[in-house]
Chains A and B, each alone.
Chain A
Amino acid sequence: MNYWPLLGIAVVVFGFALRLNPALVVVVAGIASGLLAGLSIPDLLALLGRSFVSNRALLILVLTLPTIGLLERAGLRERAHAWIAGMRRLTFARLLIAYLALRQILSTFGLNNIAGHPQTVRPLLAPMAEAAAAKIDPELAEGERERVKALAAGTDNVGLFFGEDVFIAFGGVLLIQAFFSQHGIELDPRSIAIWALPTAIAAFVIHALRILWFQRKLRRAVDARAGREANAAD
């Protein structure tokens, strides 16, 4: 077995660790791994080019940008902020947990593309989460604001990942079925999808608890500050 192409992985690890430009690191890793596997330069170029263009569906987020850009220019994020600020009963945790549940249920039915970072998180969920957090702590520090936005993005990821595997026509389930079929084990897609259900429930519970925990920390920080100010006033 030729172990030399593994150095491509080393290029990725060191490149990311040294904080070199990730796009360059990835291209160099591909070239290194190809050359070490003994590919000729024309073959390597063709492999790079073919696999690059065949994955162009991953850049389809570009199509959402005109809409999102125009709406943001017209104040979409400001409006999302004001809307949440006006809703008394919608707390930070309720907002994110409701989004998590919705995202997970939708992707269970195979509707993965209907939400996402460019479509829903940046224009809607992130400003709403910021507004909801500002209802708890009006003087939200910059670091906390970052963590709020990052948690909103993470909530979208967790909802997507641990919902889609329960959907039988999802690529992942079909990949598992095709793999076992190649190796002489015939499985019904439903029997695969059903075993993703316990993890889907666990993912919801774990992440929802973390959201509640985050909200509790925000509240505690405000209470502690109020306590200090009250002491200072005495």
Chain B
Amino acid sequence: MLRIEYVYWLCGALLLAASGFDLAARRYAPAAFWAIVAGCFFAADAVEAAAKVGNSLPAQLAGASVIALGLIAGSGALTRRAVTDEDNERRRASAERLRNWLFAPALAIPLVTLLLALAIPYLTFGGISVFDSRQPALIALGTACVISALAAMRLTRARPMTALHESSRLLDALSWAALLPMLLAMLGAVFAATGVGDAVAHLVSAAIPTQSRDACVLAYALGMALFTMIMGNAFAAFPVMTAGIGLPLLIGEHHAHAAVVGALGMLCGYCGTLVTPMAANFNVVPAVLLELRDPNGVIRAQWPTAVILFAANVILLDWLAFR
């Protein structure tokens, strides 16, 4: 059976390859950086299994690695390499030769993911499913990436070594930004475990005039958007703000529809996601991937949509929740 762990091990192998190429080129800081991340990927199963039986030593070692990663990134030793190589002539000639075939492996990633995601429940062999059904979307994506990489190697007549070299080059270009989504998700978990959310909800609900319905609606919507901006993730903000304001004030005191409060509250949070660097995988990583000089370029392109849509959400919430 194809398990989700294999997908993660493959990620670990690509990270290790990046470390190897950096080491060979005597770029020691990125070599150490990627080696530590790869180590976390290979050790992740052991960390989770040990934590279940109450042994927290592997998790503590992983925690120490996280601190090391932060220090390497903060030391400024991870100089980003240019994303595109300089050989424009060769690329233009190759594009002229392969023409639209070049799109095929790129489009194979989404299309194979889609087909596999739909087919996974039916793919069984002798009563055992071929794919692990725990995280079908991620397994489908992982398998699609392998298939499309093979197709790309065949199409461009490249050796596997070249594919590894290319992925390492892109990883070095992304540098610490590639890791930011994981680090921010970690911070969200730490904030949740240390009661930061409850403290915020407490402060907000102490500051608003609770007898005014409109004030409560606005406080809930703004609270969702702002706390999402801090956490970088509407999912982390939702339980905190809804337990602090949504449930007691909107639903309890002013008799709002729970389904409407839930749906629109979450969407107010999404408007916050569009304008925060904390949502790194949506706002910071693309700025690096697209080689924007302004690290906040994507946020600059999104904020007008976010502000207008937030206003629309507040109006919808005020109207639909109290019919």
Q: Which A-chain residue is minimally distant from B11 (CB atoms)? A: A62
Nearest Cβ distance between residue B192 and chain A, in whole angstroms? 9
B73: which A residues are within 8 A, CB to CB? 21, 23-24
A158 contacts the other chain (CB 8 A): yes
Bound-state CA distance A107–B113 (Å) is 13
Q: Give A96-125 interface residues, CB cut-off 8 Å to B.
A: 111-115, 117-124
Residues of A within 8 A of B (CB-CB), count: 118
Interface residue from A71, A78, A122 paired with B156 (Cβ < 8 Å): A71
Interface size classification for chain B: 35 or more
B137 contacts the other chain (CB 8 A): yes
Contact with B along A43-85 (1 / 0, CB 8 A): 1111111111111111111111111111111111011101100
Bound-state CA distance A31–B177 (Å) is 20
From A131-139, A185-193, A217-225, A226-234, give the one contacting chain B: A185-193
B19 contacts the other chain (CB 8 A): no
On whether the beta carbons of A33 and B194 are closer than 8 Å, the reply is yes
B113: which A residues are within 8 A, CB to CB? 111, 113-114
Once A33-B191, A56-B182, A63-B11 are accepted as A-B contacts, the answer to whether A165 and B305 lie under 8 Å apart by CB is no
A interface secondary structure, majority: helix
B76 contacts the other chain (CB 8 A): yes
B204 contacts the other chain (CB 8 A): no
Contact with B along A133-167 (1 / 0, CB 8 A): 00000000000001101111110111001100100
A51: which B residues are within 8 A, CB to CB? 185-186, 188-190
On whether the beta carbons of B242 and A154 are closer than 8 Å, the reply is no
B26 contacts the other chain (CB 8 A): no
Contact with B along A10-44 (1 / 0, CB 8 A): 00110010001111101111110110110100111
Interface residue from B163, B262, B297 paired with A66 (Cβ < 8 Å): B163
Bound-state CA distance A191–B188 (Å) is 29
On whether the beta carbons of A79 and B95 are closer than 8 Å, the reply is yes
B127 contacts the other chain (CB 8 A): no
Bound-state CA distance A1–B177 (Å) is 35
Interface residue from B195, B266, B308 paired with A206 (Cβ < 8 Å): B308
Bound-state CA distance A34–B195 (Å) is 10
Bound-state CA distance A171–B233 (Å) is 13
9 A-B pairs within 8 Å (CB atoms) are namely A22-B284, A23-B179, A26-B187, A33-B194, A36-B194, A47-B193, A53-B62, A55-B182, A147-B301
Bound-state CA distance A2–B196 (Å) is 9
Once A31-B67, A33-B191, A118-B289 are accepted as A-B contacts, the answer to whether A75 and B106 lie under 8 Å apart by CB is no
Once A51-B185, A58-B181, A113-B140 are accepted as A-B contacts, the answer to whether A42 and B40 lie under 8 Å apart by CB is no
Bound-state CA distance A42–B198 (Å) is 24
Interface residue from A37, A52, A146, A193 paired with B183 (Cβ < 8 Å): A52
Bound-state CA distance A49–B266 (Å) is 28
Bound-state CA distance A79–B232 (Å) is 35
Interface residue from B47, B199, B298 paired with A53 (Cβ < 8 Å): B47
Bound-state CA distance A175–B243 (Å) is 13
Once A31-B67, A46-B60, A48-B66 are accepted as A-B contacts, the answer to whether A73 and B166 lie under 8 Å apart by CB is yes
B71: which A residues are within 8 A, CB to CB? 24, 27
B179: which A residues are within 8 A, CB to CB? 23, 59
